[in-house]
């Protein structure tokens, strides 16, 4: 997608306009939806219904200003100030579920990702991929320079490598078919170019290789109950709001097939959903 406009709003960030990242429709004339916040305009596509942030921070600033290691603590503080009790409860739940979630990634990898090279998109400091059990060479792709450096220190001594680049660009740099696995855990909701990234995943995966995807589920019950206080809303860090249907649609459009997406993987009682996609 091309940057059509750059503007500076009340938030002080330079942004660029996006057409619908799922179908390409121009929704500039559509009124901002109820989940907009200040100048951050969350739109529901008039063509395909996909919910997304229309004006996204430009990538150059994302690498230095919006990198999650800087914005996440601020976001947490803002949420606690808004509703201290709910946020404290939700934090407790996250800690309890921590081990379960890690076990889920590990068990999906064990079942669907053949031995070989695996790359974690948005790898942060590399802890997640470093701790993935199995017979893998562990690699990472990370837009934050500081985090990429930390990931390098964790992964390079064990034979892996880390690329500091936006996801779609970084994946296109990889030799075709190099990886047996791609991990995108809590990544695609941040990505201004999800179709380009999924295309890059298809390029980087070997035939039979699998991508494990975890994203917030916009169709969750909690979003309907909590409305704009739902934990899946983060302005402007989350730029795509997937439902089970739209996630399936984008993955198929990118030329990947759905290897696993059971009703348990997208239960409406969970804030998140998991999918395993495969390169045919
Ligand atoms: Zn659309």
Write the pLDDT tens digit of every residue in 90-143.
545 544 455 555 689 999 999 999 999 999 999 999 999 999 999 999 999 999
Alpha helices in 113-211 (DSSP H): 127-130, 145-155, 167-173, 194-204
Ligand 1 centre distance from Cα of residue 32 (Å): 14
Beta strand 136-142 with 162-164 is parallel
Ligand 1 centre distance from Cα of residue 3 (Å): 18
247, containing H or E segment: helix 244-253
Q: What is the pLDDT of residue 273?
A: 98
Ligand 1 centre distance from Cα of residue 45 (Å): 5
**How many alpha carbons fall within 13 Å on the CB side of residue 190?**
24
Percent of the chain scoring above 70 in pLDDT: 80
Q: What is the pLDDT of residue 58?
A: 84
CA distance 124 to 268: 28
Write the pLDDT tens digit of every residue in 27-40.
999 999 999 999 99
Angle at 229 between CA 53 and CA 59, to 5 degrees: 30
CB 118 within 8 A of CB 89: no
CA distance 154 to 274: 26
- Name the fold adopted by 99-278: Rossmann fold (3.40.50)
Residue count (the chain): 280
Question: What are the start and end residues of each CATH 3.40.50.150 domain in the chain?
Answer: 99-278
DSSP secondary structure letter of residue 229 = G
Is a pLDDT exceeding 50 seen at residue 5? no
Ligand 1 centre distance from Cα of residue 250 (Å): 11
Ligand 1 centre distance from Cα of residue 20 (Å): 5
């Amino acid at each position: 997608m091309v940057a059509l406009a750059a503007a500076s709003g009340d938030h002080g960030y330079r942004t660029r306009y996006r057409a619908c990242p799922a179908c390409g429709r121009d929704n500039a004339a559509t009124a901002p939806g109820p989940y907009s916040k200040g100048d951050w305009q969350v739109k529901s596509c008039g063509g395909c219904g996909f919910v997304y942030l229309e004006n996204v921070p430009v990538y150059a600033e994302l690498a230095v200003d919006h990198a999650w290691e800087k914005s996440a603590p601020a976001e947490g503080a803002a949420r606690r100030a808004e509703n201290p009790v709910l946020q404290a409860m939700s934090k407790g739940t996250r800690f309890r579920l921590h081990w379960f979630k890690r076990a889920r990634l590990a068990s999906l990898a064990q079942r669907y990702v053949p031995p070989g090279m695996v790359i974690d998109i948005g790898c942060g400091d590399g802890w997640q991929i470093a701790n993935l059990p199995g017979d893998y060479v562990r690699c990472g792709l990370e837009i934050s320079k500081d985090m990429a450096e930390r990931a390098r220190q964790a992964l390079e001594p064990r034979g892996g490598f880390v690329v500091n680049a936006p996801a779609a660009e970084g994946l296109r740099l990889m030799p075709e078919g190099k990886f047996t696995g791609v991990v995108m855990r809590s990544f695609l909701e941040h990505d201004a170019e999800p179709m380009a990234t999924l295309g890059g995943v298809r390029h980087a995966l070997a035939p039979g290789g699998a991508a494990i995807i975890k994203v917030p589920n916009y169709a969750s019950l909690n979003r309907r109950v909590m409305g704009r206080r739902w934990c899946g809303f983060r302005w402007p860090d989350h730029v795509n709001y997937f439902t089970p249907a739209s996630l399936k649609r984008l993955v198929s459009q990118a030329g990947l097939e759905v290897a696993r997406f059971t009703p348990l993987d997208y239960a409406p009682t969970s804030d998140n959903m998991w999918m395993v996609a495969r390169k045919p």
